[in-house]
Chains A and B, each alone.
Chain A
Amino acid sequence: MGEKILMKGSEAIAEAAVRAGCKLFFGYPITPQNEVPEYMSKRLFEVGGQFVQAESEVAASNMCYGAAAVGHRVMTSSSSPGVTLKQEGLSYCAGSELPVVVVNVMRGGPGLGGIQPAQSDYFQATRPGHGDFRYIVIAPATIQEAVDLMMDAFDLADRYRNPVMVLADGLIGQMMEPVVFREDPPKEYDKSWACTGCAGREKNIVNSLYLDPKDLEDHNFHLFRKYDEVEKNEIRVEEYLMEDAEVALAAYGTTARICKTAIGLLRAQGFKVGLVRPITLWPFPYRTFRKVADRVRFVLDVEMSMGQMIQDVRLGVVERCPVHFYGRVGGMVPAPVEIVQQVQRLLAE
């Protein structure tokens, strides 16, 4: 393991990508993730890579398509409104089975919204753009986890030949924490499908256009057999103090760590509260919620949104227990004491 260093989330994410073997970055500036392209513009030069500030988010996502199609590890990053623009190119990437890593440092919306932290892109991450496809979506709660998941993201993208979205929020992007980078070299994946010049072999075609409905249906079936594998193999979830819990909080990312502080306060008062923290938002840990629902009085889903992940929590719980919601939006971050009060109020009902 390397040295422990204090890093800002956006810069740590960028450094993790470089160490995962990403040599190409295409992006367009937007707060609160500008430190990702800023860092990449310097760092990629040092490792013989290329940084391009594209003319738009749409262009950046299509540049990623091109880079992935020729077999390179590539990423882009943006924040909520910018990610919406990238959805077009990323749907093409999913259709063409291209490994691309996308970082979304979420800010408040809708529209241009604001620049403070939010989690209101759960839908656009887990129910992405046009067509039947999925991103693998992973949501870090600390800068160390952002680093580790960022490195995993490139492996997941290559293993499944699919876009992976690292879903962070403005706080993860802006705050600093100590991090240690894994030293293991990037894994190698078979990329014999890539368009690397076909001298001496059959030509490869990377394309998402299937004009014959039968072919397109088969292609969709193929993609979903792959997604079945992802659901079987890649679910990640943290259960925190759930052994004796009578109440389960459900939260991801920054909100999950705020919930942990609230749980400390609640437990000091004798309330047995735990947390279920999905780390992969797709594939979603439905089974964990199903199991938990039989043991707790209720689940309180906490998000920096008006209630998006709660739809998946409910699909997991399937009415085995009540599911309540608490959210702050627009860049407002919930304080631990607000969550404490919600739990106390619900327990008193």
Chain B
Amino acid sequence: MQYEVIIAGFGGQGVMLIGQLLANAAMLQGSKTVWMPSYGPEMRGGTANCTVVVSDEDIGSPVVPRPGAAIVMNLPSMDKFEPLVVPGGLLVVNASLVARKAERTDLDVVYVECNRLAEEQVKSPRSANMIALGAYIGKTGAATPEIVKYAMAKKMVGKERFLEANKAALDLGIRLAQGEAG
């Protein structure tokens, strides 16, 4: 089994961070994994994306032109990556910043108002990325919630005060994705 996801948004939304968390969780659960960033003249407020591959077997190409899933945190990312997801793949859309619906009808699309929910329900506006990651793992099972939370705790040494909010945000994303699935 191989999972591929492109995670895209504005610089500063934490798309690289949730990609690294997913890759770390994959490693900790014994999977093979690669995290590959877009790099270039990116800056805060510009666009940024990363690709994460999780697999049972050695990973060949780290570049995935047609990923199984995309998490799009803003409209430019939706415009760029919606066309690339494989037919039957998954699109997690941050509906707080993407006003439109998906144009494709051959995708499993999950709309989550990440920014609004982070602010109103988690009371931690910057945890919007964790809600999106929760929605992705809730849908795919690429990594278990427990391992992602463990990876989170290891990653956030010295920032423990944010840990509970981020865990809550992850759980909220998982619940929303699984609710929509039913």
Contacts and interface: CB of A to CB of B under 8 A. Distances in A.
Nearest to B19: A176
Contacts of A264: 60
A6 B63 contact: no
Contact of A4 (B27, B39, B59): B27
Interface in B6-42: 20, 23-24, 27, 32-37, 39-40
A145 B147 CA distance: 26
A258 B63 contact: yes
B62 A175 contact: yes
A335 B27 CA distance: 25
A176 B37 CA distance: 9
B27 A257 contact: no
B12 to A, nearest CB: 19
Given A177-B33, A264-B60, 19 more contacts: A6-B20, A115-B39, A116-B39, A116-B40, A175-B35, A175-B62, A178-B27, A178-B33, A257-B60, A257-B61, A257-B62, A258-B63, A260-B61, A333-B63, A335-B61, A335-B65, A336-B60, A336-B61, A337-B65
Interface of B: 20, 23-24, 27, 32-37, 39-40, 58-63, 65
B37 A174 contact: yes
Nearest to A141: B60
Interface residues of A, number: 25
B61 A174 contact: no
9 contacts: A31-B39, A171-B36, A171-B62, A175-B62, A176-B20, A177-B33, A254-B62, A261-B60, A333-B63
B65 A6 contact: no
A37 interface: no
B24 A6 contact: yes
Contacts of A171: 36, 62-63
Interface in A233-252: none
Nearest to A115: B40
A116 B39 CA distance: 8
Lowest 9 A-B CB distances belong to which pairs?
A261-B60, A260-B60, A176-B35, A261-B61, A258-B61, A175-B36, A178-B27, A335-B65, A257-B60
A264 B32 CA distance: 17
Interface hub of A116, A174, A176 (most chain B Cβ within 10 A):
A176
B113 to A, nearest CB: 30
A175 B34 CA distance: 7
B34 A170 contact: no
A337 B60 CA distance: 13
A53 to B, nearest CB: 21
Contacts of B23: 6, 176
Contacts of B63: 171, 258, 333, 335
A170 B59 CA distance: 18
Given A171-B62, A335-B63, A32 B27 contact: no
Nearest to B151: A6
Contact of B33 (A6, A259, A261, A335): A6
Nearest to A333: B63
Contacts of A177: 33-35
A319 to B, nearest CB: 31
